[in-house]
Structure 1
Amino acid sequence: MISIGSIFAVLIAAFIGYFGFKENQHVQAATRSTPTFFFHGYGSSYRAEQNMTAAIRRAGVTNTIVRINVSRTGKATLIGRIPRGTRNPLVEVNFADNRLSGTSGSYVNAYYTTGARYVRNAINAVTKRYGYRTINAVSHSMGNLEYYTQPGGNHDAPTMSRIINHYGKELFK
C-alpha cells in the first residue's frame, strides 16, 4: 500500500523537476537553479522532511540536500554546502524552538515575531551565501504561517517562485 507521504513526496519531486527544468531552459549556464526550502510544522523537526527530500533525490531531481539549523536565539547555521552547478538544491529547515515556547505573549503573536524571524534568517543564510534571488518553499502546518508572516518591503529578499502548502491529512479528503 502506498502511503500519503509517499504520494506527496512524488508530487513534490514532479513539481520541482518540471518547473526546475522549465526554468533552467531560460537561464544562462552561469546561473544556478532555484533552491527549495522545506519548513516543518509545530513540534516537528527536519526529520519529518527527510523522507520527502530523499524521495526527490532518488527521483533524480536533485543531488544536493543541506540543512539549516535555526537556534532558539534565531541564529541560522548551514549544515552542508551547495556545490557550484547544483541542480535544484533542497534545504531542510530545522527550528530548535519548534513550538515557539521561548516567546512571551500570545502564541499567534509569536508567529508574527519569532517564527517569522526564524524563517527569514534561514532563507537569508542560504540566499546571501550563494546569491540566490529566487526560491521555492514546501511548508507544513506551522511552517505555512511562519513563512507568510515575514515582514514585507525588504528589497533584498529573494522572490518566491513556487510554494506548496500542506496542512495534513485533510489535504487529501
Structure 2
Amino acid sequence: MKKWMSTIIALVAIVGVAFGLHQSLKLKRDTAKYTYSNVPTLFIHGYGGTLNSTKDLVRAAEKAGAAKKMLTARVTKDGQVKLSGHWDKNKYNPMVQVVFSDNRNADFHTDAKWIKHVIVALQQRYGIKSFNAVAHSMGNLGLLTYEMTYGQDKSLPQLRKQVNIAGHFDGILGLNKEVANNTARCARQANENGVVL
C-alpha cells in the first residue's frame, strides 16, 4: 500500500513540475513577441472621459505581459499635474493614464497644453526622453494639436508612436473646420519631416 501511495505522490509531483515548466515556457514565448523599453505610453481619454475610460486597455496590456501601469497623471482645471503611483525604472513599457479634471473641455489647444504639462512633469521627475501615446476621441485632437504646437521642440520628449482610437480628425460635423485644416497641415509637416502618419 505504501508503495502505491509513493508512486501516486511521485506521479502527481512529476505532472505538477511538468505543468509548471510548460506554463513558464509559454509565458516566455508570449512575452518574447514584445519589445521592452523604459519609454512610457500615455493613455489619453476623450471628451467626458475618466480613469475608467482607458482602464480596460491598460489591464489588457498588463495581462498580455506587454506593459506595466506605473502612474496616473491627473491634470487639474488650471493645468497642474499630480502624479500618483510608483515609477520603477527597472520595469518595462511603463503606462501612464492621463486624466483631465475638466474632462468636458472642448478646446483642444487647452488639452494640448495640459498634455505638455504631463510630459514636462514626467521629464522633470523621471527623465523621460520620448513617449508613446494611445488617445481616444477628443484625446486625439489634443495630442495632434500638441504635436503641431510643441512636437518640433527638441527640448521636450519626442513622440515615438501613437495609436488613435475613434479620432475625429475631420472635425465634428457642424462644429468646426479648424480640426480638418490642422489635420491637413500636420500631414504636410509630417511628410516634409519624413514621418509616416
Which consecutive aligned stretches of 4+ in structure 1 deviate over 4 angstroms post-superposition?
A: none
**Is 2:45–2:139's contact at 8 Å kept on the other side of the alignment?**
yes
Deviation at 1:42, TM superposition (A): 0.3
Counterpart for residue 61 of structure 2 = 56
Give the letter aligned to residue 49 of structure 2: S
TM-score by length of 1: 0.71
Cα distance per residue 1:72-105 (max 9 Å; x no partner): 00001101121121100000000001111xxxxx
TM-score, normalising length from structure 2? 0.63
Output the amino acid matched with 2:123: T
Contact preservation (8 Å) 1:62, 1:87: yes
What is the SS of the residue equivalent to 2:54? helix
Q: What's the Cα RMSD here?
A: 1.8
Q: 1:75 aligns with which of 72, 80, 86?
A: 80
Q: Highest Rg: 1 or 2?
A: 2
Aligned partner of 2:95 in structure 1 is 90
Equivalent residues of 1:64, 1:86 under 8 A apart: no
- Partner of residue 104, structure 1: none
More helix as a share of residues: 2
Partner of 1:130: 126
Q: Name the structure 2 match of 1:111.
A: 108
**Does the aligned pair in 1 maintain the 2:58–2:69 contact within 8 Å?**
no
Runs of 5+ consecutive residues of structure 1 not aligned to the other structure: 1-13, 25-32, 101-106, 169-173
State the Cα distance separating 1:64 from its structure 2 match: 3.3
Matching residue of 1:66: 71
CA distance in 1, matches of 2:121, 2:86: 12
